[in-house]
Amino acid sequence: MTQTCDPNRGDKIIVHVDPDLKDLVPGFLKNRRKDVKSLVAAVERSDYETIEALGHTMKGDGGGYGFHAITDIGGSLEKAASNKNLQEIRKWVKQLSVYLESVEIVYK
């Protein structure tokens, strides 16, 4: 996997993904966009359990698909939820949202 550019500047993030996973990646990213909505709702409810579970799953699954940034964000969300740190959680949800908007896949 290769990432370039700064998503905060509106640049695209190029991620190189195994062509064997071509059929699975669109569904994976679609589900992460759903996760963003679920996370925002969970933040509103201060539902740390849901946030921790979603973070844990992202941490486990992201890198396997080639999205190591999702693994890192998931791990940070899991940790922030475990510490009940809403400020940190909001920061990482925002990061995830920006990442998903900026990511561009190259199957290689």
Partner 1 sequence: MSILLVDDSAENLLLLQSILQTGGYKDLLTAESAEQAFKHLGMDSSGGDGMSVDLILMDIQMPDINGIETCRRIKEVERYRDIPIIMVTAMAQREKLQLAFAAGAMDYINKPVNKVELRTRVGSALKLKQEMDSRKAREQELKKRTQELEQALREVKVLRGFIPICASCKKIRNDRGYWQLVEAYIREHSEAEFSHGICPDCIKKFFPGVEPG
Contact characters 24-53, partner 1, x per CB under 8 A: x--xx--x----------------------
Q: Is 5 left (phi over 0), alpha (psi -120 to 50) or beta?
A: left
Among 47, 75, 95, 98, contact with partner 1 (rule: CB under 8 A): 75
| Torsion angle defined by CA atoms of residues 100, 105, 25 and 21, in that order, rounded to the nearest 10 degrees | -150
- Of the ranges 13-21, 37-45, 84-92, 95-103, which one interacts with partner 1 (CB under 8 A)? 13-21
- Residue by residue, DSSP assigns 2-36 as ---S-GGGT--EEEEE-GGGTTTHHHHHHHHHHHH
CA distance 66 to 60: 12
56 scored as a contact of partner 1 (CB under 8 A): yes
- Of the ranges 15-23, 36-44, 86-94, 95-103, which one interacts with partner 1 (CB under 8 A)? 15-23
Residues found near partner 1 in the complex (CB under 8 A): 18, 20-21, 23-24, 27-28, 31, 56-57, 59-65, 68, 71, 75
